Amino acid sequence: MIREKEIYSYIVAFIAMLAMSIAIYLLASEDDAENTRVFNRENFVEKEIELNPKNFSNTHKIDVEIDKVNLEIVKMSSDLERMSLEYAELVEEMEVIKSNLDWLNKTTAFGAYTRVMLQALPQTIKMESLQDYRSQVNIRTYEISKAIRAVSQSQEERLIATERIDLEKLQQLNSLYKALSNQIETLIVVSGDYSLALAEARDFLKERQVWTYSNAPIWKNIFNLDTKKLFGVTSPIRFITQNIELDKVRISLIYLVAFTMILLFLNRWSRLKLDLVSQRQKKVFGNPLKDSFSNSIIVLAITFVASSILPVFFFTCVWFLDFNWVRYPSILYDQIMIASCALLWSVGFLYHLSRKQGMLELHFRWSKEMCHTIHYRIRIIMFPLLITLVCFYFFRLTAQENDAEILRILYLLVVGLLFVLYKSVLNLGDVNDHLPAFFQSGVGFFVIYYSLLGSFFVVIGMAMLGLYVGSWKILVLQQLNVFALIGVFLVYQL
């Protein structure tokens, strides 16, 4: 009985497969027959023109398109000439700079010129839009070429009236599109070369900017200061009143006060939340049944939020200054601004980590005295650091592109505050007990201590000599290394 059922199932499957094969064959044959019928019929050429998306039989539309393409060719020629000129000027200018580097590096004017040139260089060349435009032109050229072939064939076979399609205008339009396509191709090639030259010039100028004197040595100006050298302008008060938009001050002040109140509320909430979670964690800390690593994760997440309040407030203050200023380009999103916010966030992060019953005390088992000392010293330095950075950006707006000694003085003050902070932390008696085994030894701790504090003297010395950009780059690199070391040490103690 079972074998009969199997035989029947095989027969049914075979019949189904045979039916499907016959159906597929018939459909394919029908498609082939339809294609043969369509492509062999006598009025195919006429139908091809009629079904074309563009109506080539309208002479007025062709005339309008011819005029439009002519204008595009003129515009593309102008863009090509302009870009070729900019490319040639850039190459020539870089050759002149490279051939005179020996004496240019010794002048502060070259540092100012480098800053201006870096800002003036175009950021990007829109190659994608040119390539898309080229594709559109090539598609249109193909459509016209297809229509020309169809019209030529129809005229030979006398199937349609020659009055319906103006062959000469189509050929003229086709030649114009080909000329436009050649212009685009040339512009793409020149744009590619110009993009490479821009990238090389930007890298070269940034490299030279590190070792170029942005300012004169501080001892040449500090004993001969006037208002121009100190603030970058002759009359700072008059300059400030001329460049502040009083109409914006009132409404922006409302936003500043409202946002400050929100940040104060968040600061109060985060502190209360940290106290609550820390007390709960202290009760169960070390209990194998009740203690959970999730408590530390919650504390760490709230600490991240609380640490962001100070840089957000700083950003709000700088936004208030930038929003009400008239002439100077925006300084909200440049590298110095980002580095300043990161610096304030890291200081706030260490401040909240070292708080009473915080992460360092409970989770990492640092001594209460050590955490209290770090917390207290950061609190002393935190607000002077914030005020100094806000003043730095205010006088940066005032000085604009001019050299101002007040900026160097404020920068040295920031570096000095960081030096005092790190030196006070490293001088704590039992700080090396929390380091990995290698750094607890005399040699390991000596490497950290003097490499960290010694780099501050390099930063200060370069700033005093006038190598301002190089000093700033080394300071940023030093802070990144410090944050990486702190992260490694914290992970080591998990």
Asked if residue 306 is part of any domain, the answer here is yes
Supply the pLDDT for residue 261. Answer: 93
Residues 6+ apart with CB under 8 A from 214: 108, 111, 112, 115, 403, 466, 467, 468, 469
pLDDT of residue 412: 92
Q: Is 350 exposed, middle or buried (0-12, 13-18, 19+ CB in 10 A)?
A: buried
Contacts of 395 (CB under 8 A, 6+ apart): 231, 232, 404, 406, 407, 410
Low-confidence ranges of the chain (pLDDT < 50): 1-2, 31-51, 53-54, 158-163
**By the 8 A CB rule, do 285 and 291 touch?**
yes
Are the C-beta atoms of 360 and 375 separated by less than 8 Å?
no
Considering 213, 247, 270, which residue would you say is the last residue of a domain? Answer: 213
Q: Are 92 and 148 members of one domain?
A: yes
* Claim to verify: residue 174 and residue 241 sit in the same structural domain: no
- Shared domain for 205 and 311, answered yes or no, is no
Give the tens place of pLDDT for each residue, 297-335.
777 888 888 899 999 999 999 999 888 887 666 667 777
Looking at the structure of the chain, the number of domains it has is 3
| Residues above pLDDT 70, as percent of the chain | 77
CA–CA dist 274, 259 (Å, integer) = 22
Let me know whether 20 and 104 are in one domain. Answer: no
Boundaries of domain holding 235: 231-492
424: CB partners within 8 A, 6+ apart: 373, 377
* 236 and 206 in a common domain: no
Between the alpha carbon of residue 385 and those of residues 5, 311, 376, 381, 473, the distances in Å are 90, 11, 15, 6, 19
68 burial (CB, 10 Å; 0-12 / 13-18 / 19+) is exposed
Q: Are residues 24 and 77 in the same domain?
A: no
Q: Do both 29 and 107 map to the same domain?
A: no
- Asked whether residue 381 is assigned to any structural domain, the reply reads yes
Q: How far apart are the first and last CA of the chain?
A: 72
Kindly state whether residues 207 and 235 are assigned to the same domain. no
State whether 32 and 127 are in the same domain: no
Integer-rounded Cα Rg, in Å, for the chain is 37
Q: Is residue 45 part of a domain?
A: no
Whether residue 95 lies inside any domain: the answer is yes
Q: Are residues 101 and 70 in the same domain?
A: yes
In a domain, 52, yes or no: no
Are 206 and 260 part of one and the same domain?
A: no
219 falls within a domain: no
Amino acid identity, position 259:
F
| pLDDT score at 414 | 92
What pLDDT, on the 0 to 100 scale, is given for residue 18?
64
